Chain A
């Protein structure tokens, strides 16, 4: 598994991200549900770590540091990068200044 540059167009792990204002988060035993009121899309977070990453995004200067703070190790990072890229593509998270 590698983290090729450009593997996730539109998402950069080394930039600052945050949940879109129109997204609601509902914790569930398996992780959480996200719902975007603007696009009317649902997403499923399949574990509590990815939920912790999302909640940390707003307080961290980069998504990479939010992942680290949530306990995501180097081996797991590519999977979380993919997950975040998916969320960015569906506008659940947005780059912030």
Chain B
């Protein structure tokens, strides 16, 4: 076997490793960086019966677990029923929540299942920093949920943080917050997707902060999960733990609340729409046959990045980040650690960048206010994968 694991993965897998499933666009919050511009439920959302069919398909495909998000998934009246249905069919569940429905009784029930994992979204170590992004009271809600989980004996749930310009100086405090509740810290990258497209210019970490983030991640290694978010930072000093590649359509995809299948959770736009679970053949056919996915699984040329000495480690960065900042997909990531992104951004026509769609923000809500100062309630993050680090079979793999 000559191809590396990454090269193998780039050609696609029999089923996704990291499948995100947004169950609803409804959310009690309206985070300024919400990737799915959530707020209002969409009347076309999948019914309970349709959701069960999707789970049956995932079981047949041996998708080991789904990352459920939203919107706020727990506000769906059938949420717990669907969790039970999935775990009863060998499909584990990790769900992201702002904590609104995690009371003592729910926490006890969650602590009793091996097949359910929970990610509480927090975007600052203090209410001030968190609530500026996620909305007034959201920090208190999250902390209350974490206390319930901790008291119920749930060990190792995730405290999931989108790293921004305002919380990047709180990484030690965020780690301490996770430790306090027996949770594991998970850091992910701010993407210019959904409402985040409007807030990214003010919220994304500066170049100096990115360097600081890289050093912090390198020092904390595998104690901290990243969902492989930060592979674009590899030029600072080598690859971080995890798969260092864009998984869109290859090992990753998104099912949105109305059943549309996108290449990744950060790319909710027609350009990255592969099909629908409602079409004949369902999700399995989309994953296997979608023309978009076939294209994403072809060898990529590297484009303008090809001559860069760091291309092998960063692989050109995040497709969605480029797309929504108006950069060419075969050029550098807007946050390219080698500095090429900053140049490209100056040259790009930001006004002509594609607009995220669809928008389920509440009327007069966050997108309208995005970038403003208003209290902006949150959304639940659609997170990338957060599987644990790989057990790497260097020996077996590198055999001639």
Contact = CB atoms under 8 A, between A and B. Distances in A.
Q: Which of A26, A27, A40 has the most CB of B within 10 A?
A: A40
Given A26-B62, A27-B14, A40 B393 contact: no
Contacts of A43: 390-391, 393
Interface in B101-143: 114-115, 117
B347 interface: no
B92 A40 contact: yes
A50 interface: yes
B17 A33 contact: yes
Interface string A38-60: 11111111110110000000000
Interface in B34-68: 62, 64-65
**Chain B binding site: helix, strand, loop or mixed by DSSP?**
loop
A24 B396 contact: no
A44 B393 contact: yes
Given A24-B64, A35-B65, A30 B114 contact: no
Contacts of A40: 65, 92, 94, 117, 387-388
Interface residues of B, number: 29
A30 B5 contact: yes
A80 B396 CA distance: 6
Given A30-B8, A40-B387, A83 B13 contact: no
A24 B388 contact: no
B161 interface: no
A92 B393 CA distance: 13
A78 B115 contact: no
Q: Which of A37, A38, A39 has the most CB of B within 10 A?
A: A37
A76 interface: yes
Interface of B: 1, 3, 5, 8, 11, 13-15, 17, 62, 64-65, 90, 92, 94, 114-115, 117, 387-388, 390-397, 399
Given A42-B387, A44-B392, A82-B395, 12 more contacts: A24-B90, A28-B14, A29-B13, A37-B92, A37-B114, A42-B391, A43-B393, A44-B391, A47-B1, A47-B397, A79-B399, A86-B391
